[in-house]
């Protein structure tokens, strides 16, 4: 008997029919003798619907008070899902109970809309499992030290599931979604994308942080930190396929690098349309300038991603960086109203229509010329690179958003990712 955590995403929970199928699948695993904890997301579109209503009433909800309410609103989507799934499980003849994050409790810090899990008390859940119940726990939410409901950021149910699996030392965490695993790139953009049977934890971490939303980045971080065996698989296969067959399907996130030794240099391509670029023009080129620009940005709790400073002319330089598109206006206002005038910068320019495309692969550690192949491919398609950032196993470029699909397709082909491999 193993302790297994299943996570089902929005599309997997999209209709009552889908929820019934999830219940049948979970019941199958429980009947095979496993202890089951299930973490569903809100039904597809529901979180957007809830936040859409909030936006109608309060377009600029950046205060802590407003963000508290946003979380209280958004968290209701998952509360409906857990109740419906527990009912569906009961209809399948299972004993099942649902809990909201605060009932477990799943403790988080107080960063509304992007809270971090600090601890999970598993006593109540263990007691239920011990008497044969399936436990259904809301994804995406927790409770802060003051008792306020918090959410973990969009796509956060992945993180809830992996964190619960880590806290309970589960034997495996299965992330059920609307694709049958992790692909070389988003199969919705490149139909030739191939499913990977395994992907190394480090590659998955880079792919998630570079924008592959198949797994929320924090879920991958948790899996790495606590060594949670993690698999991504489809909830759209027939629910009654044998458990052993299902348990081997999809993509396994591995922790052993040597399994990948003989494989492609580049394993995947990620892209991110959620960023915006800001350039401060004509700042004095002297020590402390990066701090004077980015210090106030950090103080405003705005995350900065790619940064470049150009060579200076006549003692002045241009300084560019990217932020999340949601923070674009706030960053522009901050720079225009206070930072730029203090520094004597001549202008602040913004471009919200950029995207970041990244190639990822642990093979990049041991191969040279990978980045230059990327740059050549983009230049052959006439795509201008605005910024570059690299790490040991990835190279990212910032380009005009309108070239995103073209760039991803061209790179996918250039690195032979559409070719079958012997896995």
The binding site for ligand ADP (CB under 6 A) comprises 9-12, 41, 155, 177-179, 182-183, 185-186, 188, 212-214, 268
Going by their DSSP bridges, the two strands 354-360 and 394-400 should be labelled as: antiparallel
Residue 91 CA to residue 103 CA, distance in Å, equals 23
Residue 132 CA to residue 35 CA, distance in Å, equals 7
Q: Which is nearer to ligand ASP, 73 or 307 (CB)?
A: 73
Min CB(175)–ligand ASP separation in Å: 10
Min CB(375)–ligand ASP separation in Å: 34
Please choose which of ligand ADP, Mg ion, ligand ASP, none residue 159 contacts, taking the beta carbon within 5 to 8 angstroms, the exact cut-off set by kind. none
Give the residue nearest to Mg ion (CB): 155
Q: Which is nearer to ligand ASP, 211 or 282 (CB)?
A: 211
Q: Which of 86, 89, 136, 139 binds ligand ASP (CB under 6 A)?
A: 139
Total residues interacting with ligand ASP, rule: CB under 6 A: 13
Min CB(313)–ligand ADP separation in Å: 41
Min CB(173)–ligand ASP separation in Å: 14
Q: Which of 8, 140, 222, 321 binds ligand ASP (CB under 6 A)?
A: 140
Which residues, 6+ apart, have CB-to-CB distance to 383 below 8 Å?
399, 400, 403, 406, 407
Min CB(213)–Mg ion separation in Å: 6
Q: Which is nearer to Mg ion, 153 or 352 (CB)?
A: 153
Q: Which is nearer to ligand ADP, 77 or 268 (CB)?
A: 268
* The one segment of 108-116, 148-156, 232-240, 358-366 that binds ligand ASP by CB under 6 A: 148-156
47 binds ligand ASP (CB under 6 A): yes
Q: Which is nearer to ligand ADP, 177 or 377 (CB)?
A: 177
Q: Which is nearer to ligand ADP, 160 or 317 (CB)?
A: 160
Q: Which of 14, 101, 139, 155 binds Mg ion (CB under 5 A)?
A: 155
Query: Going residue by residue from 150 to 179, which x/- string records binding to ligand ASP, judged by CB under 6 A?
Result: ----xxxxx---------------------
Phi, psi values for residue 392, rounded to 5°: -55, -40
Contact residues for Mg ion, defined by CB under 5 A: 9, 155
Contact residues for ligand ASP, defined by CB under 6 A: 9-10, 41-42, 47, 77, 139-140, 154-158
């Amino acid at each position: 008997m193993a302790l297994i955590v299943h996570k089902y995403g929005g599309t997997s929970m999209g209709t009552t029919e889908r929820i019934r199928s999830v219940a049948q699948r979970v019941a199958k695993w429980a009947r095979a003798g496993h202890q089951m904890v299930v973490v569903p997301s809100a039904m597809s579109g529901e979180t957007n619907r809830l936040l859409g209503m909030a936006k109608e009433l309060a377009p600029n909800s950046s205060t802590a008070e407003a963000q508290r309410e946003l979380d209280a609103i958004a968290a209701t989507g998952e509360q409906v899902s857990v109740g419906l799934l527990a009912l569906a499980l009961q209809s399948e003849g299972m004993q099942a109970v649902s809990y909201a994050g605060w009932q477990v409790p799943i403790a988080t810090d107080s960063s509304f809309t992007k809270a971090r899990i600090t601890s999970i008390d598993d006593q109540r859940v263990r007691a239920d499992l011990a008497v044969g119940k399936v436990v259904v726990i809301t994804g995406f939410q927790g409770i802060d030290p003051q008792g306020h409901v918090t959410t973990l950021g969009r796509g956060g149910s992945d993180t809830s599931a992996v964190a619960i699996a880590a806290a309970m030392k589960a034997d495996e965490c299965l992330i059920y979604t609307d694709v049958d695993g992790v692909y070389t790139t988003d199969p919705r953009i490149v139909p030739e994308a191939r499913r990977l049977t395994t992907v190394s934890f480090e590659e998955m971490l880079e792919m998630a942080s570079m924008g592959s939303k198949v797994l929320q980045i924090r879920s991958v971080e948790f899996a790495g930190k606590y060594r949670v065996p993690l698999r991504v698989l489809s909830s759209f296969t027939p629910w009654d396929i044998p458990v052993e067959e299902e348990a081997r399907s999809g993509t396994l996130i591995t922790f052993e690098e040597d399994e990948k030794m003989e494989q492609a240099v580049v394993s995947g391509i990620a892209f991110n349309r959620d960023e915006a670029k800001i350039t401060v023009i004509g700042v004095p080129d002297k020590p402390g300038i990066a701090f004077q620009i980015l210090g106030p940005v950090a103080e405003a709790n705005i995350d900065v991603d790619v940064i470049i400073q150009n060579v200076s002319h006549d003692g002045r330089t241009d300084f560019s960086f990217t932020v999340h598109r949601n923070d674009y206006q706030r960053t522009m206002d901050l720079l225009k109203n206070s930072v730029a005038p203090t520094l004597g910068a001549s202008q602040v320019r913004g471009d919200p229509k950029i995207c970041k495309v990244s190639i990822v692969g642990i093979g990049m550690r041991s191969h040279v010329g990978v980045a230059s192949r990327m740059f050549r491919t983009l230049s052959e398609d006439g795509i201008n690179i605005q910024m570059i950032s690299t790490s040991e196993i990835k190279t990212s470029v910032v380009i005009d958003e309108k070239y995103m699909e073209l760039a991803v397709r061209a790179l996918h082909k250039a690195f032979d990712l559409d070719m079958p491999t012997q896995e």
